[in-house]
Structure 1
Amino acid sequence: MGGFDPGTWALRRLDPEVAHRLAILGLTHVPLPVPPADDPILRTTVAGLDLPNPIGLAAGLDKNAEALRGLSRLGFGFVECGSVTPRPQPGNPKPRLFRLAEDRAIINRMGFNNAGLEAFAARLAVRPANAVVGANLGANKDSEDKAADYVAGLKRLAGLADYFTINISSPNTPGLRALQGRDALDDLLGRVAEARAPGGGPVFLKIAPDLTAAEIAMIVDASLTNRIDGLIVSNTTLERPETLKSSWRSQAGGLSGAPLKTGAIVALKAAAEAAAGRLPLIAVGGIDSGAEAYARIRAGACAVQVYSALIYEGPGLVGRIKRDLAGRLRADGFPTLSDAISAGPLTSR
């Protein structure tokens, strides 16, 4: 798949967390050229965000908003940094990040390791002005009122990020996924709605793939009731498909990458059916090609995000996805990307 990237190959020879840190340092300090202008057919709007293309970076790579200048030059239409919690926290004990190379997957149990809101806010204050940047908000592990942590993040970063993501679906913070239940969700989203600054940018909710269609329909209803602007579908999974080959397959944590593809598509279709066009959807999970991005858009996504595939494909993946996606849109007669949203699966190619 894709072309050989010597930099990516070299990083994969290192401990995963060391490689991750080196990648952040490289993106922070190595001057990268300005990417070429995007094909106009890829321009789209998601919850009021004007995106030059629909390919975003998922949260988790740049937890502390350190490398936004470099990331903004890799060709993404939007970049999501975080997750950030109000207070700094070290995360879970190491080792906590595992490459499942045979499966083109990752397992992580990082535990929202980050430097906290103040450091995050300081970096967003000097971020590139021409990039669409989102802030993924989390809750501290020992917080007694996790909803208050999300409110704190929203208030502190108001005016600094273009959009916000309420991350209640990470499997690595105890009690976090319980916020996806209706009573807790209404309390959280109601408090978020009250805390939002007028004109402060859209707020998205990131959900787990390990939900039933009925649970996803409930979340869609709660999101509409509480004026959430869209859903990100989906986070990492706790499931372990029998097809996994790697010796790391039994490690605890969230699984991402190619094995997440099936579950993420099922969750996306359930969300699209429940939302019925009333709520923008951003697809994540196992997206590693233009064909896969196109399939998610036809299944109801307005945009997509990638992360794990970059580890195996290298940064050139972004450009390859965009070129292939533009070609597929034209081949199928869609004048704009928006016309392809929810067009349904291809019958043949």
Structure 2
Amino acid sequence: MYAALYSRVLSRVDAENAHLLGTRALALAARLPRAEADPVLRVRALGLEFDSPLGVAAGLDKHATAFEGLGNLGFGFVEVGTITAHAQPGNPRPRVFRLPADRGLLNAMGFPNPGAQAVVGKLAQRSGRGIVAINIGKSKVTPLEQAAEDYRASAALLAPHADFVVINVSSPNTSGLRDLQTIEHLGELLDAVRGETDKPVLVKLAPDLTDEQLDQLADFAVEAGLDGLIATNTTISREGLDAPADLLARPGGVSGAPLKARSLAVLRRLRARVGDRVLLVSVGGVENAQDVLQRVRAGATLVQGYTGFVYGGPLWARRINRDLGRAVRNAGVGTIQDLVGHEVGIRPGLAHGAPAPDGARD
């Protein structure tokens, strides 16, 4: 049903307008009964218990209006944002484009959001039924040299109402933001945010970093006692895409299937560097249960989706949870957490490159 609705209606609507319609519908989904949790999918991490390792990446709920509804659809956690200290409209429209032939999206949003102060009240009204993270970024009007104070201001307001905080320094759509992915800048940001909260703090990285840069950041994460790394944000690469050249010439980051291989490669490199000393969250190109399972086996304790949900529809998370639960039981372990980092030694039916569990690709 959703496939028909998407092809006949939603695909004909401007991508950003369709997104806004979707988030309004998700706000209504807060009235629905919560999806029943499968015990084998429960994960303990960051001092929390997640009903499923599958969460929603930042970017979907930019105004903190849909997180309750998303939780009811079967997601184990929702990352709200990106939110900035100052309200801002983001970059000029149009700024979101579908790449259907590539199963991806191109966005140049630039953190449009109502600002931290406006979001506080919405988060404060949480029902407490689900896990909610807050993703904070630098306000466009704030110079890079004042970035730490900008992040501090957002953390002071929002962290008390979230279960954990994500520092976003990796979006390609805010000028100069990725320059903050140096150890010197990250140290300042981390100190600023930690000075305002004792909640877990994670950092979201770009997929376009070199291997040397990833290694340096992994070492920094261990030395600084960082709670976690999220890999990865959208990519500025256009390699291998089938979309029209004029569309690909636009600025912005690509998400979805084109990011799958790089996101997995970054995850594996980080895992090899940090082991289990830093929690890893994998995002980028997750489309089905097999993708989630592969990320878990590669070292991710938690996994996030965004574009896969956009193309998959409201039942996407429930389908993945169903198939993932079946796969975990077939693996003969107690919970999916037992598979974290175990790329070798799993039953043949779940070996790397094996077909997805039944229905995982529907």
CA contact (8 A) 1:162 1:202 kept: yes
After superposition, the CA RMSD in angstroms is 1.6
List aligned pairs for 1:164-179, cutoff 5 A.
164-179=165-180
SS at match of 1:159: helix
List aligned pairs for 1:283-322, cutoff 5 A.
283-322=282-321
SS at match of 2:12: coil
Q: Tell me the amino acid that sits aligned with residue 149 of structure 1.
A: D
2:71 corresponds to 1:68? no
Q: Tell me the amino acid that sits aligned with residue 339 of structure 2.
A: A
CA distance, structure 2, for counterparts of residue 298 and residue 162 of structure 1: 25
Structure 1 residue 214, shift from structure 2 partner: 2.0
Distance 1:30 1:303, change over 3 A: closer
Structure 1 residue 309, shift from structure 2 partner: 0.9
Q: Which residue of 2 aligns with 1:43?
A: 42
Distance 1:336 1:152, change over 3 A: same
Q: Which residue of 1 aligns with 2:217?
A: 219
SS at match of 2:190: helix
Structure 1 residue 32, shift from structure 2 partner: 4.5
Q: Choose between structure 1 and 2: higher helix proportion.
A: 2
SS at match of 1:158: helix
Gaps of 5+ in 2: 345-350, 355-362
Distance 1:233 1:348, change over 3 A: closer
CA contact (8 A) 2:29 2:68 kept: no
Q: Which residue of 2 aligns with 1:128?
A: 127
Distance 1:348 1:179, change over 3 A: closer
List aligned pairs for 1:143-158, cutoff 5 A.
143-144=142-143, 145-158=146-159
Segment of structure 1 superposing worse, 133-142 or 222-231: 222-231
CA distance, structure 2, for counterparts of residue 246 and residue 202 of structure 1: 42
CA distance, structure 2, for counterparts of residue 30 and residue 213 of structure 1: 41
Q: Which residue of 2 aligns with 1:265?
A: 264
Structure 2 residue corresponding to 1:210, chosen from 208, 211, 214: 208
Q: Which residue of 2 aligns with 1:104?
A: 103
Distance 1:331 1:183, change over 3 A: same
CA contact (8 A) 2:29 2:70 kept: no
SS at match of 1:152: helix
CA contact (8 A) 1:100 1:246 kept: no
SS at match of 1:183: helix
Q: Which residue of 2 aligns with 1:197?
A: 197
Q: TM-score, structure 1 length as denominator?
A: 0.94
CA contact (8 A) 1:101 1:246 kept: no
Q: Tell me the amino acid that sits aligned with residue 301 of structure 1.
A: A
Structure 1 residue 31, shift from structure 2 partner: 5.9
Gaps of 5+ in 1: none
CA contact (8 A) 1:100 1:249 kept: no
CA distance, structure 2, for counterparts of residue 277 and residue 239 of structure 1: 30
Structure 1 residue 249, shift from structure 2 partner: 2.6
Q: Which residue of 1 aligns with 2:184?
A: 183
CA contact (8 A) 1:84 1:112 kept: yes
CA contact (8 A) 2:105 2:307 kept: yes
2:84 corresponds to 1:85? yes
Structure 1 residue 232, shift from structure 2 partner: 0.6
CA distance, structure 2, for counterparts of residue 30 and residue 318 of structure 1: 14
Q: Which residue of 2 aligns with 1:59?
A: 58
CA distance, structure 1, for counterparts of residue 82 and residue 139 of structure 2: 10
CA distance, structure 2, for counterparts of residue 197 and residue 172 of structure 1: 27
CA contact (8 A) 1:211 1:267 kept: no
CA distance, structure 2, for counterparts of residue 139 and residue 36 of structure 1: 35
CA distance, structure 1, for counterparts of residue 89 and residue 81 of structure 2: 14
SS at match of 1:128: coil
Spell out, residue by residue over 1:229-274, the C-alpha distance to the aligned partner (whole angstroms, 9 max, x if none). 0011100001111243345233210000000001101111111111
Q: Tell me the amino acid that sits aligned with residue 180 of structure 2.
A: L
Q: Which residue of 2 aligns with 1:228?
A: 226
Q: Which residue of 2 aligns with 1:244?
A: 242
Q: Which residue of 2 aligns with 1:281?
A: 280
Structure 1 residue 332, shift from structure 2 partner: 1.8
Segment of structure 1 superposing worse, 3-12 or 34-43: 3-12
CA contact (8 A) 1:88 1:115 kept: yes
CA contact (8 A) 2:29 2:72 kept: no
Segment of structure 1 superposing worse, 109-118 or 175-184: 175-184
Distance 1:13 1:181, change over 3 A: same
Q: TM-score, structure 2 length as denominator?
A: 0.91
List aligned pairs for 1:134-145, cutoff 5 A.
134-144=133-143, 145=146
Structure 1 residue 147, shift from structure 2 partner: 1.6
Q: Tell me the amino acid that sits aligned with residue 13 of structure 1.
A: R
Q: Tell me the amino acid that sits aligned with residue 39 of structure 2.
A: P
CA contact (8 A) 1:185 1:222 kept: no
